Structure 1
Amino acid sequence: MTENPSRVTTKGDVLGVAGTNAGTVNITYISRTSSDTEIHARKLNKSSPYKGLVKFDADDKDKFFGRDHWIIELTDYLEKNNVLLLLGASGSGKSSLIQAGLIPKLKEQHGYEELVNLTFVPDINAFESFYVCLKPRYGQSEAKLAQAVKEDTLVKVVQSLKQDAQWLIFIDQFEELFTRTPKTERDIFIKSLIQLIENSDASVKIILTMRADFLDRLSPYPDLGKVHDRYSRMLTEMDDIDLRLAIAEPAARNGVTFEQGLIDQIIADFHQQAGSLPLLQYTLNLLWKNDDIQDQVLNSKTYQNLGGLTGALQQQANKIYNQFNEQQKKAAEQIFIGLIELVGKEPVSRRADKPIFEQDGTQKEVLYKLIDNRLLVSKIEDGKAKVEVAHEALLRSWKVLQDLIRYKEEIIVLRNRLSADAKEWDELRKQDPRKAINALILNVPKLTKIINLAKEKSLPNLDALTTEFIQASIKYQNQVQKIEAERKQREVSTELSLANSLGRYSSSLFDTHHELEAFVEAIKAGKILHKHKATDGQVISALFKIVVEGREYNRLEGHDNYVISVSFSPDGKTLASSSADCTIKLWDVETGKEIRTLTGHEDSVSSVSFSPDGKTLASGSSDKTIKLWDIGLDSLMKLSWDRVRNYLTYNPNVSESDRHLCDGIGTEK
């Protein structure tokens, strides 16, 4: 016996496993104690002893090898502790070790013969997941205690249902609590779990398995951090001795051996592929099925033809995928998009309701082919059919999926964000519908993008809750837009009413010989009309009244150089003149008054001409440019510019905001 209680030693035909307080366990390993001839003398069992991508469960304990020292170590650990957090890389075999190794071993120990195994993976509702695993044993009426989303739920379930039994609560894939469960419910479940840990005795063992790369998710939960510090163990990789046992022993028990050197080759390939225990089982299963085991020997040639450990999964997946036509391939891609999410840049598998993928005939056909070929796994949870990727090794090893994830990353992130938002919205609306609307309804740009993607069929297979969430968002945004449109209409109506009043007031001022004040009020009214692209008879009448009936006389003098060109407006009321002084002037024909000087040319302005509607003036210059000037309603507001400017600037009764009324008027078009 070795001095290290966590290691194994071989003596003759017996493998001794030593563990503190566990005694010495003697297990006969056929692959180590028998020759090939002796193994071949056993009755041949043609059924594959390898699990492929499917995880080991408690019924597979006779196929599970290579983790003996871990089984003994953890069994000894749980004799002294009630909680275990087993960490490890994806594909390191955490779940299989617990299910096919530790739990059967615990049941063999004194006092654990009737151990109640309550295993579940946290889903959208972690309490519901616990309820589902309780119901088969305790019935719906008693198990429903677990459905209450409360901090004391888990303690109450144990107090009410456990009685004198020994319980093992195994929360597998604990990281899904952070990827699947909405935060509100997750926080409550974690508090409930901590309360259970703090209040449980030795009759309740709690085991959690979690991917080590999710450790940072514990940071917001100090109590979980303490659980990690006190109860965690890190599952290490198998060494060559363990690997050889895991490879050879299942075959030997079925009367089959490996060709000389093949196991060494498989082990060497294993070390080239990180997290490859699922790939190892998958490749061995394919090797068994593709080789002619009638001679009771697994051959190197068959192994090489499969592509070896690193290529077997991809080769087999490609074979299945390439049998699909283009329409089926697209359906397969849509299925996988619905079963993948990204944690940072790392793709992980997510479970989904199976009926989601059965709405379309082609997609349903492809779904069942992927399940039949073990690329997907279908299971029943609480009477509901679920589906998920067989193992995350597929996400890391199959180039088709790697490319799909890279090209569809935005879609994957968006649909999973949508799913999370929908779950949180659903939880909030149960508590406070108003808060749910204000906090979680999608904003317009994001909603528009989602609607466009849906039209392009780029967001297939959304679950019912997510679809309801989007529809609620659309309804809410339509209501918001309607309210906003009505508000703007009221605002426009109010401002146009003000413009009309200003127009009337302007006319009144003009009639009482307050021409400058009348012009200021008319400008205010005109600016309102210009803002809303509207016309108002009262305002136009006031403006024309000021322009046409003004009596102050000005000679048509003002250019600093000779006049080159003149042009009458179509209505004959305005004259435009251009000059060698580089300016254009507008004149009121009836009064002879200068309306406005237009500047902007850098040389003599050789010609001017009105548009047929009189709203635009074109000018040509020796500076090699042609300019267009807006002289419609705006130009009417430029009348008597110098007088208005002086009035606005120097009159102490004019407000500061009114002094800038004419800013920006009369600019080049």
Structure 2
Amino acid sequence: MPRGERPLDAAGGPLAEFAGGLRELRQKAGNPTYRVLAQRAHYSIATLSAAAAGRHLPTRSVALAYVRACAGDEEQWARTWHETATRLAAAEPRPPSASNASDESGGSGESGEDTARPPYAGLASFQPADADCFFGRERFVSDLADRLRHGRLLALFGASGSGKSSILRAGLLPLLADAVVFTPGWHPLEECAIQLSARARDTPGRLLAELSADPVNLHRAVRQFLADRPENDAELVLVIDQFEEVFTLCTDPAERTAFIAALVRAAQAPNSRCRVVIAVRADFYAHCTRHPDLVEALHDAQIPVGPMTTAELRRAIVQPALRAGLTVEGALLAHLTAEAKGQPGVLPLLSHALLETWHRRRGNALTLAGFQAAGSIEGALAQTAEALYTQLNRHQQQLARQIFLRLTALGEGTEDTKRRLTRAELDETDDTALILERAARARLLTLDDNRVEIAHEALIRCWPRLTSWLTEDRDRLRTHRRLTEATDIWESFNHDPGALYRGVRLATARELPRTDLTRRERDFLDASTAAEVTEATLVRRRLQRVRQLAALLVLLLLAAGAAFEYAVHVQHAVTRQRNVILAQRVADQAAALHQDNPSLAAQLSLAAYRLAPDDITRDGLLSATATPLGGNTSGLSTVALGADGHTLVTSEFDGTVRLWDITHPHHPAVLSTFTAHAAGSAVIALSPDGTTLASGSSDSTVRIWDIGDPRHPVPYGPTLRGHTQAVFSVAFSPDGKTVASGSYDHTVRLWDVTDPHHPAHLATLTGHTLNVKPVAFSPDGRTLASGSDDRTVRLWNIADPRHPTPLATLTGHKDFVDTLAFSPDGRTLASGSDDRTVRLWNIADPRHPALAGILTGYADVVADVAFSRDGRTLATGSYDRTVRVWNVADLRHPTQLAMLTGDTSATQSVAFTTDGTRVISGSADHTAQIWETTVAAATARACALTRRTITRAEWRHYLPGTGYPAPALPLAGEPPTEVLRWRLGPAARNSRPGPESGNETPQGTRA
């Protein structure tokens, strides 16, 4: 019996309240054991139990993991955690100041203010006076000084917040005998003249006039300034910080060019006594290349400033504290280095967080609790963001909202993340440039060359204003994001009209506020609207011409029977052409409605097919009648169908395996769910009799499961170990006694599972030079095929599985091989690849395989292939979100039977039902789909999906110019071919029911 938790101290204060809340949350969740909570939260039992013990405040991540495991409100508990941390910090005594260290009361003077000098600079850059507190860049500064001794002009390039200013001011300047440091500002020549004149005790007006007249005068002025000093002992170093202001603030191109020329000539003159160091933000590198003399000077003078290493970060954190007589708690140091490592713009944020932690120090120690009470890096970042926003005017605030929303990628079942965009996505206005510049200075954004991104994703989580923007209308944000992507595609296709919006997509996009759109997005919508109007006008004109032609033909009928016959032929041709155009447009509109209104989408797709039965409308009908299997918690990696044809097994990327009853394919039911591998990403295979399941995982292991009772699956025997990297695929031999596994360790392993309670390793197959991905047994069990990232397929003789031998190597794929499948007769092998093709191999003689055919037309990776039981049909799934069905009876001339669309993310796996009439697919969008492959079955399914007959108004909107159908719904036992008979001209003439009272006059045959 588990031991109960220690009672909490009633007077324990904030800690006891917080721990009591966690315990109450656990009790409401059904009081799961800590072992169960550990499996859900991915933290140890000791860590989670300590979180609710009330002895100390757990970290934010541990607390939220505990809440998540108990199905609590994470947002509410995040606020509770911060409130508790703040209360604990307020309850701690303030540390004594440096001048009152002996104050026994623990205060900091009569005023209560902390008068000790902070050891950290906060968001501001380090200055020369802070040199004694500047650590971590010693090696970089030493190398910089050495480079300066051998070169007369150096340029530091780095992202905003990488520490360039601090390196120059607190690192390099104290090492220089004579230096002038300044920022260019609005008038760089004037600023240069002012700084040099102050050193020379001269008036800046005269020097400014000389610099404006001839840039060489800067070189002369420096020589004059040093004229009274020995020639070889004295030089002046000009340090220009934030050199990008030459491009952002200086609006006079002539002054900009003159200033750059003056610096270059002062450094490169034969008798120069001047050295120049500039610090430039990395995103302004292209601006520098527009000045040829500067480009030549920078040829061997560029010094990149990157993120600090772990050792440098430790020195930057610990050494200032040590000099101030403080210590840094080990947990705080580990947390800070882990969070800041590799972040290009995090140094000012780190310094600011440390400064706030110093204000909350405990005695002479900087603690993790104080850091968390200060809001950590996230809290400081949120305060900075709010300060920036409040300083903008109303129009700029609206523009800032649009920019930050564009910089956020909406999560689908995950947290929102930052999104990098190019400046071309934003309107080039003065306000846009100002916001980007201020945000970069405030360390909120990182500007790199032509790209913009949020400096830290903590801004998305912790800036309340941005959070409220993101939660106002996420559907509208998704619509806007899709519009942006469509605009990019349209521009990449040189404004091709075929890439424009139409129908429902256009109507939805037009509902977005115009003020939220950029110029290019407005141009895209305007072009889409114009194209729709043009197409509608064209359809109306065609209808008008057809009517005029019909009237003329009636007159000609009186003159000659031949003319009448010709007129009827023309009429039918035009009607067919009109029907094809209209039907294909309706099919597109039905696809767009499938997710939100399946009933209307099914009726429209059926109407489109009956109006013009061709490949496009057929695929639309098949796609609109798919049955989704939802409820999955992650993307699907594998789908497999049991031997009974009723049990479906799906595996997910998070390691979850689900067993479904699909006896009634359109009413699937979950039989059981279990976690095959806690480490995540499970791949599965079923034994031929369907009672045993093998699973492989990224944890490098294979497990065998008893699913004879699909409602209570249990594991067999020990876990199979031997692979050293992730297992990508598993497969059963036809007799069910052997399992093959392919792994990223470049090998295939064979396992004896004759007794699944005592599985044993048989052999290891080597030969592939890169990751082994798919493995597949031939139907006779004597041949094994394996595919690899080395772009080959290998065939192995495994008649004796303990002594496998290679048979042949199949080459031809131009990228990774991702999937393999044998035909039921064992004479054909299908292989799918990252090169966007499926290759069909004749392996009647496995020692001499030959390429028989290639399937093309995919827009992305082919992830899975599967044969039907008669071997005449092949199904494929691709990352281009399609399932394609092929007739492969003639391998040299395969034909596509259907292309099924509807998956909203990459299609990962496909399988045929036992009768071959349906295809099952699994997708990264967390769903499996059951697809009909015949028009008759899809028609019946469309009738079953009909919940409300399409109205006259809807019919006129989607199918103008055609007769409204009789509002018939399928009746019990009624054949599908006799329901929903719409009067749509020649396509339905032979099966059209007679007119009903109150219906409109049929117009399809008259159009």
For Structure 1 versus Structure 2, the TM-score category normalised by the shorter chain is 0.3 to 0.5
TM-score relative to the length of structure 2 = 0.29
TM-score relative to the length of structure 1 = 0.42
> Going by fraction, where is helix more abundant, 1 or 2?
1
> Going by fraction, where is strand more abundant, 1 or 2?
2
Q: Which has the higher contact order (CA 8 A, sep 6+)?
A: 1
